[in-house]
């Protein structure tokens, strides 16, 4: 599993004077010039895992490959600067495919004032794999880490969750501007983007912060597509199940002190809703509470790459 | 072909205030803090193209994936700072493979004082693909570009060429320290690393500089492995053919003014030989001359990814 590999790397990698934040957060932070630290993130997307090239316009694939990385910069409250793109293209139709991937990326890059700086283009006998690396810069507020949540902090989220497989996983808007606005205007303690699933990503954030989290399941904002998917599938999974576990919502999950959270909720400064869905607690793990305040464990579910 | 895609990107990409050098060189250069510009390069390696996972220890694969990127930083005379690694692993044995790849990378990273900052680890149904992105910084001499060669400059190369498929393509030492030492001590006009093939990479450098190049074929340093390969294959290709076209030598090809080149050749400041193999000329293209000084075209051969 990916988390095992991160644990291995954290143990194995020597400290480095330039590395302010290494493996295990949404992006790494490199010490650069004063006030100009450099944020780096990479995501590799592959056919049949992150998209189905037989069914999807390759421009949407290119757009997604960039968007998931922008979402990682958003999770760090970093300003996008530049990106490089590496692709392994199937031999047949490779040039046309490469152009379509870039055509999907470029409007989103321009929207976020990101320079496409270069890349590496290869052909091979395998299916499409596309890797995007983004470089951003921290603002004067510093990077937003996963490890800053404090006991008593509220869990705030942007937007709504679940059912992204119906389309949002390809066409979502990474919350870059939202993260920068929130980081500028409010004191955020920690943040992560919901890529693998609301519950599992919240659990990651809590774990990195050395605490646990209670989710108020009644408060979780459920996407229309989560309801639609539950109805379509009719497999006993509720819309809430989808919201907690589906993954690829690419919304922000934030840890904010209770009084600051009140202010944010009252002001609602974004064009998407901000919702409080729980709080951070001393007890490790993920929890839900009933009306009487009794806690029971909540499974942290979501997408994980499984290796033999 | 990759060059077509670079041409497309150069036409298509808008200018960006942070982008000092975009697609088409060995790495991109981002305007960062004063005197701390950021150099970025990515290379994606795939099974059966860049290595054969059935025959090669995966540690050598990991090492190569890092080394080819270090070679790109060397070609820019940039100082390595940090890298991120994205892998698409076959499902079976993925975790063990990932660890072996990193174990191959880490000694080389430490040798070059490079921080492994993070990455993305995926499993899929396809063969192994590994993408490494490196971030470096320019020195006070600025980046060494492909476009700075002047007519009359000498073509200098490090080391020897050809037959890398017998082993050097996996185990070569990227010329990072060599490039930094040369850039510090001498006035280099342009540089590239020989990744696709001595002749085709020299042709790239000449083209980017708006000139041509004459190769003194008698002077090309031929690797022992080029002679060995010519003998093994016995297919009519001479050791010189291998030296000119094989690719993956990862030596430096430099453009230096004639008098500076004389000084470098006399001083031989590196632990590998520096050799003059030709000069840059007004006439575009790649050329050889006979004893009487008559020019004939020399084919620029090497490895190119071919797309339908």
A54 within domain boundaries: yes
Domain count along chain B: 2
**Residue A1 scores a pLDDT above 60:** no
Helix (H, G, I), strand (E, B) or coil at A207: helix
CA-to-CA distance for A26 and B267, rounded, in angstroms? Answer: 48
pLDDT of residue A34: 79
Of A22, A92, A307, the CB nearest to B308: A92
Q: How many other CB atoms are found less than 10 A from the CB of residue B73?
A: 31
CB B192 within 8 A of CB B75: yes
DSSP string, chain B: -HHHHHHHHHHHSPP-TTEEE-BTBSSEEEEEETTEEEEEEEEEEEBTTTB-TTTS-HHHHHHHHHHHHHHHHHHTT-EEEEEEEEEEEESTTHHHHHHHHHHHHHHHHHHTT-EEEEEEEEEESS--EEEEEEEEE--TT----STT--TT-EEEEES-BS-GGGTHHHH----HHHHHHHHHHS---EEEE-SS-HHHHHHHHHHHTT-EEEE-GGGPPBPHHHHHHHHHH-SS--HHHHHHH------EEEEE-HHHHHHHHHH--SSS-EEEEEEEESSSEEEEE-TT--EEE-----------
- CB contact set of B195 (below 8 Å; sequence gap of 6+): B68, B71, B201, B247, B248, B249, B250
What are the residues whose beta carbons fall under 8 Å from the beta carbon of B152, sequence distance 6 or more?
A: B257, B258, B279, B280
Contact list in B for residue A9 (CB cut-off 8 A) is 102, 116, 119
Residue at a domain's end among B137, B166, B188: B137
Residue A50 and residue A109 share a domain: yes
pLDDT at site B36: 87
Any chain A CB within 8 A of the CB of B5? yes
Q: CB count, 10 Å around CB of B200?
A: 22
Provide the pLDDT confidence category of residue A194 given band limits of 50, 70 and 90.
Answer: very high
Closest CA to A263 of A274, A252, A277: A274
Give the H/E segment covering residue A153. Answer: none
Longest Cα–Cα distance in chain B:
62
Over residues A141-172, the pLDDT tens digits come to 999 999 999 999 999 999 999 999 999 999 99
d(CA A203, CA A201): 5
In a structure prediction context, what are the per-residue pLDDT tens digits for chain B, which is 308 residues long?
578 888 999 999 999 999 999 999 999 999 998 778 999 999 999 999 999 999 999 999 999 999 999 999 999 999 999 999 999 999 888 999 999 999 999 999 999 999 999 999 999 999 999 999 999 999 999 999 999 999 999 999 999 999 999 999 999 999 999 999 999 999 999 999 999 999 999 999 999 999 999 999 999 999 999 999 999 999 999 999 999 999 999 999 999 999 999 999 999 999 999 999 999 999 999 999 887 888 999 998 887 666 55
- Segment A231-253 mean pLDDT: 96
Q: CA A51 from chain center: how many Å?
A: 17
The CATH code of the domain that includes B104 is 3.30.1330.10
Tell me, yes or no, whether B175 and B284 share the same domain.
yes
pLDDT for res B301: 87
Asked whether residue A8 falls in the same domain as residue A58, the answer is yes
Question: What pLDDT does residue A292 have?
Answer: 84
B112/B203 same-domain check: no
Q: How far apart are CA A77 and CA A138, in angstroms?
A: 7
Interface mutation target, options A25, A45, A99, A307, chain B, most CBs of B under 10 Å: A307
**Whole-prediction pTM:** 0.96
In terms of domains, do A104 and A174 share one? no
Q: Provide the b/e sequence for A156-194 (b: ≥16 CB within 10 Å).
A: bbbbbbbbbebebbbebbbbbebbbebbeebebbbbbbb
Q: Do A115 and B22 touch (CB under 8 A)?
A: yes
Report if residue B212 sits inside a domain. Answer: yes
Whole-angstrom Cα distance, residue A197 to residue A253?
A: 11
Residue A306 lies in a domain: no
Q: What is the pLDDT of chain A when averaged over all its residues?
A: 95
At which of A84, A108, A137 does a domain end?
A: A137
Tell whether A149 is covered by a domain: no
Q: What is the pLDDT of residue B306?
A: 61
Question: Please, which residues 38-77 of chain B have a Cβ atom closer than 8 Å to chain A?
Answer: 38, 40-44, 46-49
Chain A positions touching B18 (Cβ under 8 A) are 81-82, 115
Place of tokens 């700072």: B81
**Which member of A19, A32, A81 has the closest CB to residue B115?**
A19
- Tell whether A305 is covered by a domain: no
Same domain, B94 and B130: yes
Q: Each residue of B256-283: b (16+ CB within 10 Å) or e? A: bbeebbeebeeeeebebebbbbbbbbee
Of B196, B175, B229, B172, nearest in space to B304 by CA: B196
Query: In this structure, are A9 and A111 located in the same domain?
Result: yes
Q: What is the largest CA-CA distance in chain A?
A: 62
**A36 compared with B287, residue with greater pLDDT:** B287
A 10 A CB-CB count for A234 gives: 7
Note whether A27 contacts B118, CB cutoff 8 Å. Answer: yes
Domain-located, residue B144? no
Q: What is the CATH number of the domain that holds A182?
A: 3.90.650.10
CA–CA dist B87, B62 (Å, integer): 10
Asked if A120 reaches chain B (Cβ–Cβ under 8 Å), the answer is: yes
Q: How far is B86 from chain A (nearest CA, A)?
A: 6
Report the percent of chain A where pLDDT is more than 70: 98
Residues B29 and B162 in one domain: no
User: What are the distances in angstroms from CA A129 to CA A49, A57, A214, B100, B275?
Assistant: 10, 15, 38, 21, 40
Under an 8 A CB cutoff, do B115 and A307 touch? Answer: no
> Which two tokens mark B282?
């007004």
* pLDDT recorded at residue A302: 86
Distances (CA, A) of A158 to A223, A274, B131: 12, 5, 32
Residue B308 resides in a domain: no
A64, A121: one domain: yes
* CA A24/CA A44 separation, integer angstroms: 16
Residues A158 and A278 in one domain: yes
Question: Which chain B residues are Cβ-neighbours of A30 within 8 angstroms?
Answer: 81-82, 115, 117, 135
Residue A135 CA to residue A70 CA, distance in Å, equals: 10
Which of A103, A137, A171 represents a domain boundary (last residue)?
A: A137
Chain A interface mutation, best of B90, B193, B307, highest count of A Cβ atoms under 10 Å? B307
Query: Which range marks the domain in which residue B221 is found?
Result: 154-297
Q: What is the Cα–Cα distance from B125 to B102, expressed in whole angstroms?
A: 21
Q: What is the average pLDDT across A170-195?
A: 98
Smallest CA–CA distance, residue A112 to chain B, in Å, is: 12
State whether A7 and A90 are in the same domain: yes
Shortest distance between the Cα of B263 and any Cα of chain A, in A, equals: 35
CB A176 within 8 A of CB A306: no
B22 and B104, same structural domain? yes
Q: Alpha-carbon distance B283 to A9, whole Å?
A: 52
Measured CA to CA in angstroms, residue A144 lies from A79, A91, A271 at distances of 12, 41, 21
* SS3 state of residue A286: strand
> Does any domain span residue A147?
no
């Amino acid at each position: 599993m990916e988390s095992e590999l991160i644990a291995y790397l954290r143990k194995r990698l020597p400290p480095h004077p330039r590395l302010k934040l290494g493996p295990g957060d949404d992006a790494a932070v490199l010490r650069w010039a004063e006030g100009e630290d450099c944020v780096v993130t990479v995501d590799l997307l592959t056919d049949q895992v992150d998209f189905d090239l037989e069914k999807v316009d390759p421009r949407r694939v290119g757009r997604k490959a960039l968007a998931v990385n922008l979402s990682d910069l958003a999770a760090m409250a970093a300003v996008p600067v530049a990106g490089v793109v590496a692709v392994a293209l199937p031999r047949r139709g490779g040039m046309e495919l490469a152009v379509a991937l870039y055509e999907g990326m470029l409007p989103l890059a321009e929207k976020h004032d990101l320079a496409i700086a270069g890349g590496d283009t290869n052909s091979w006998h395998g299916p499409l794999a596309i890797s995007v690396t983004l470089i951003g810069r921290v603002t004067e507020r510093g990077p937003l880490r996963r490890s800053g949540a404090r006991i008593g902090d509220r869990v705030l989220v942007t937007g709504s969750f679940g059912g992204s497989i119906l389309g949002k996983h390809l066409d979502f808007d990474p919350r870059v501007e939202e993260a920068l606005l929130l980081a500028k205007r409010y004191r955020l303690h920690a943040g992560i983007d919901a890529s693998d699933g609301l519950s599992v990503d919240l659990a990651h954030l809590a774990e990195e912060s050395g605490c646990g989290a209670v989710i108020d399941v009644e408060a979780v904002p459920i996407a229309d597509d989560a309801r639609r998917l539950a109805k379509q599938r009719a497999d006993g999974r509720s819309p809430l199940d989808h919201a907690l576990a589906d993954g690829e919502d690419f919304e922000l999950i934030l840890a904010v002190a209770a009084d600051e959270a009140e202010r944010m909720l009252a002001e609602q400064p974004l064009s998407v809703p901000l919702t409080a869905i729980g709080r951070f607690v001393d007890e490790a793990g993920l929890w839900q509470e009933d009306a009487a305040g009794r806690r029971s464990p909540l499974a942290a579910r979501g997408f994980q790459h499984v290796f033999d």
